Structure 1
Amino acid sequence: MIGRLRGVLLEKSPPQLVVDINGIGYEVEAPMSTFYHLPAVGQSVDLFTHFIVREDAQLLYGFIDRNERRLFRDLIKVNGVGPKLALTILSGIEASQFVQYVHNGDSDALVKLPGVGKKTAERLVIEMKDRLKDWGTLPETFTLTAPESGLPITAITDGREDAEQALIALGYKPAQASKAVNSAYHDGISTEELIRSALKGMM
């Protein structure tokens, strides 16, 4: 089991990134909640990871802290929720907000996430309520920060195409992704912030 990676960030193209460790590039999939905290390409990065081995692939998932990884692991234990949907959930909603919806039994709010139908939302509420009883009592160990030099996390570019592709990769329909990105776009916004705003607009 690979539980943690520390190396140099080589590439980041939501929801995927590449981390170089002693000359080996590890491909990692991560939710947008982690991408918001990534340093610039070429900087050191530290991720908590979850490794999944299937017959046709070996997949590595990366997270900003232990709590986020814990929530991912709890999500994939729910019937009908695989790693891809778990990433989509973590990308579309803050972990604390998700926990609040579960505690409140608010399955209607969860249905707004792509790939989450009514039955899946109800299962999430029922199956995760007990697992998340102690949520908030565990320390949130944030390990990723933007470089102290003051450099932006992402170079400021138009970013709309990259943002749309990221949303599509997370499960949103192309037309839905395009509409959300165009609504959230304004001059000078970074790609990560554009994705964040577009996701918020759809919730």
Structure 2
Amino acid sequence: MSGKLSDDALDTLFRNARTQNAWTDQPVSDDELRAIYDLMKWAPTSANMSPARFVIVKSKEAKEKLLPALTEGNKAKTLAAPATVVIGYDVEFYEHLPKLFPHDLTAKTWFNWSAEWAEAHAFRNGSLQGAYFMIAARALGLDCGPMSGFDMGKVEEAFFPEKNVKVNFLCNIGHGDPKGLFDRSPRFDFDEVAKIV
């Protein structure tokens, strides 16, 4: 049973949370990164398929491997971030459904009949898991800087050589330096983009 979060918690997760472009030199430990995953893994995906795959880039060598795939505007902030998470999705996620969805051992057949069908589900649910990852990071006191500016082929070649995992987006993780923030951008009001029918 869930209860309503405090306004302070909602501020941390949403209202005051910002996409960070600059970082302090405060490190992020491996234990903190594991804690993010261990929290976000409980969030829902369709048939518990859990298609997201994560490569957490921390070392100098790994950052240098990532750098050539980034657009110019993303290079400096990624080098400065304590960690960059490469968030991908496994298009063959259904191979793990006997473990992840044991209530129905035929669940694999819901997806393995079409590569296009499977990838659509993997992308949708992997995107959810990427968002859960960021919310978990914020809940644990860290800041996020999600990014789309990169060469997908280069990232996949460098970090997902197994070929069944495709990259979705990147997210820098650390303690943001407010000096790197832009003014807060506007958002739509409810009635501009939503309706209750």
Report the structure number with the largest CA radius of gyration.
Answer: 2
Report the TM range for the smaller structure's normalisation: under 0.3
TM-score, normalization by structure 1: 0.26
Q: Which has the higher helix share?
A: 2
TM-score, L = length of structure 2: 0.27
